[in-house]
Amino acid sequence: MFRTVPLLGCLVLTLLVLSGCKPSDAGAGKSDARPPAQVVAVPAVRETVSETLSQIGTLAANEQIEIKAEVDGTIQEINFFEGERVEAGRLLVKLDETKSAASLQEAEANFALSKSNHARARDLLNDRLISQQEFDQTAASFAANDAAVQLRRRNMKDAVIRAPFEGIVSTRMVSPGQVISRNTTLTWLVDLDPVKVEINVPERFLSQVLPGQDIAVKVAAWPGEVFNGKVFFVAPYVNPETRTMLVKASLPNPDLKLKPGMFASMDLTLEVRPNAIIIPETAINQVLDGNRAVIMVVDTDNVAQKRPIKIGLRLESRVEVIEGVEEGELIIVEGLQKIGPGMPVVLAPKEATLPYLRSPETAPKS
């Protein structure tokens, strides 16, 4: 009994000490909530976007031919200057017609004689003074001489070479007094306004390429300048070796800057969507499979929400949204690393959104 009292006293003392060392409850009601993070958000906008196909092609003249002689002869006259623009029907080269004229006179004389013989033979046949065979012989001679006259007249016409269409004559390949043979190249005639561009489009775009579509062409000779035209021809078949189809477009060329044979890069407009939803590319928080992605939007309570979207056309620093976003919704473009779904946010001042906007008027109000 004497030893129990000190033991009980020690237990009471220990409880008193422990109760005195208990932490204070003064700060128990203090909140651990984080303050809202500041983010930069811009509204989704509607714009007209064009889906284009970039290709490489070659320029070709609207019309380009070799001017050749169809008959033998001697160059009598050259009626053009190299590089000169000529109208359709303009006299370019004239051959010496002396021999052709003499041949024509001979043919016409033979034709006149055979015509008389043919008429006289008809009368004799009617009077039964000659046989049918004799009459047929005079008729054949008459027809042959008539054909000879037509041929000589055509040779006379071929001795005068004219421009078949309006264009620019190229290098002169002959000189006055030169004796030439048929099919000799005299010069070239080129029509440069408009010019054509020819491209080979992969077959997977067959359903999207149509006559009348717009095309923008650039050439190295005129950097920074764009030449616009329209598609006028789509091949009715696909090349089985290359699996491409030939497409031709026409480009106005009043200044004659574009030349046949030029190497050209071009953008063919496949489709124009006038009311596409556009957001900045930096808004994409996560890329899923294919054209699916995730962005963060700001709801009406200034709370960040995760939003899956479907991406369409990719533009310079911007993307088209096909599904998942409506016009005017606030899309977070900066501060994504500081927030998560369901977290409150504070919008940055309007000045921070200006680099992402087409015009300051579309900036969200903070």
Tens-level pLDDT at each residue, the chain (366 residues): 344 444 444 444 444 444 444 444 444 444 456 788 899 999 999 988 887 888 888 899 999 999 998 888 889 899 999 989 999 989 999 988 888 888 888 888 888 888 888 888 888 888 888 888 888 888 898 899 889 888 888 888 888 889 999 999 999 998 998 898 888 899 999 999 999 998 888 888 888 888 988 889 999 999 889 999 999 999 999 989 889 999 999 999 999 999 999 999 888 888 788 889 999 998 888 887 778 999 999 998 999 999 999 988 888 888 999 888 999 899 999 988 888 898 999 998 988 888 887 643 333 343
176 φ, ψ (degrees, to nearest 5): -60, 140
Which of 94, 225, 85 has the alpha carbon at shortest distance from 165?
A: 85
335 contacts 69 by C-beta, under 8 angstroms: no
Q: Which residues contact 147 (CB under 8 A, 6 or more apart)?
A: none
57 contacts 249 by C-beta, under 8 angstroms: no
Decide: pTM greater than 0.85. Answer: no
183 φ, ψ (degrees, to nearest 5): 70, 10
Q: Spell out the domains of the chain, with CATH numbers in brackets.
A: 37-49+275-362 (2.40.420.20), 53-62+190-273 (2.40.30.170), 73-95+160-183 (2.40.50.100), 97-158 (1.10.287.470)
Q: Is the peptide bond preceding residue 364 cis, with omega within 30 degrees of 0?
A: no
336 φ, ψ (degrees, to nearest 5): -65, -30
40 contacts 330 by C-beta, under 8 angstroms: no
